[in-house]
Structures are given as C-alpha cells and as structure tokens.
Amino acid sequence: MVDSRATMSAPTPPRTLKLLVGASLALSAIPAAHAVQYAREWSAERAGKPLDVQRATLGDVPWFYPPFMEFARRLTATLPRGARVLVEPTEPPRDVANPIRWFVFLNAAVYPHVELYAREPMLASGTVLDFPLWLEHHFEPRDESTAAAERAALAERGIEWRLRLPMDRPFDPDRAELARLEAGRWLPVPLSASERRERREE
C-alpha cells in the first residue's frame, strides 16, 4: 500500500512571499545596471585621460565643477604659502533650504598652501539644521565689544585675509571677494590669473 503522504506535492509558497522575492530580484538589478552604465561612461569619457579632464566630466559633483576648480587655482596663486583666511558668506543664499558649503570643498582644494577658518565652526560643519544658524550669525548686528573680541581672535591666530563666498549653486566666482587686513581695514585684493601660477610651476 502506498503512503498517500509521500505522494503529496510540496506546499505552494504564499503569494506575498513570491512578490517579495520578485521585488528583491528586480531591485538588485538596479545597482547592477547603474554599474554597467558607469563603466561605459568611464570608458568613453575618462579612461586614460588626465585627472583634470576626468574631473571636468563629473558635473554633478560640486567640488569638481570647472569654475570652482579654476577659482581654487587662482586663489592659491594669489595668496602666499601659509596664508590664513577667514571665510564668510557674501550674502544670504537665494535658496535657504538648499545652500552649499563651498568653503568646505575649497578647504580641501587649497590646503596645505592656504588654511581656511570659519566663525562658529561647529555650526559651519554641522547638520542641515545648524548651517542656517551659521549663516544668520554673520548677518546679526555686532556691538563694539564683539568686534574688538573678533579683532583680538584674528590677531591671535595670525589671520590677515578674508574671503567672502557665495553659498548658492552653481558656484559664481564673480561674487567672491578677497581682502587683506591692513591697519585695521579690509582692503580688496584681486585674484591672480591662473596662468601666472602655471608659469611659476614650469
């Protein structure tokens, strides 16, 4: 006599489980497709090319934006090695909900030739909620005691330069303002052309 239990088919997986497995397989294909697309772009646009040319193709990466990279080169050409620079926003960003911290990327681009400093660094490098507070800090009225304390802090740290930067996308180098502290006054300093630095390095 045949045991009827031995001839029974395996239980069918629930419909929900089937959907989950199918969705997992479909989602796993997305990063694979992205990797293939990236490999094709790299092969066509960046493979074997100089680093600057490769970076120029990464338009969605803010710190590889060509005008920003050119500005970093011009700033380095203008300032003496070891210069210490106070960074400020030029004005409140047009899009307060989506500002960009260009000074963070600039610090990585010009260090160690130039050292950048910011007021309230915890807010400057903090969360999305902290950054608007850092911006507001620069546009609050300052009394004489606050101004005197800041002058003392600048002297203590040897900061003789000030750079005002826009905090909007895309980066606009024409809105940047460089100045040097002389006899208690910030005097404008024009940026050098990048060609000067290139000739100096040859």
Domain ranges of the chain: 13-47, 55-201
Q: Are 135 and 103 in contact (CB under 8 A)?
A: no
Encoded tokens for 101: 């911290």
Which has more pLDDT, 167 or 51?
167
Q: Given a cut of 70, is residue 51 above it in pLDDT?
A: no
Q: What DSSP character marks residue 138?
A: H
Read off the pLDDT of each residue in 133-156 and give the average, rounded to a whole number: 87
Lowest mean pLDDT among 21-35, 90-104, 153-167, 184-198: 21-35
Q: Given a cut of 90, is residue 86 above it in pLDDT?
A: yes
Which has more pLDDT, 59 or 157?
157
Q: Given a cut of 90, is residue 131 above it in pLDDT?
A: no
Single-letter amino acid, residue 176: A
Q: What DSSP character marks residue 46?
A: I
Confidence class of residue 87 from pLDDT cuts 50, 70 and 90? very high
Strands 83-89 vs 114-118: parallel, antiparallel or unpaired: parallel
Q: Given a cut of 80, is residue 122 above it in pLDDT?
A: yes
Q: Given a cut of 60, is residue 138 above it in pLDDT?
A: yes
Average pLDDT, the chain: 80
Nearest-angstrom CA–CA distance, 77 and 152: 28
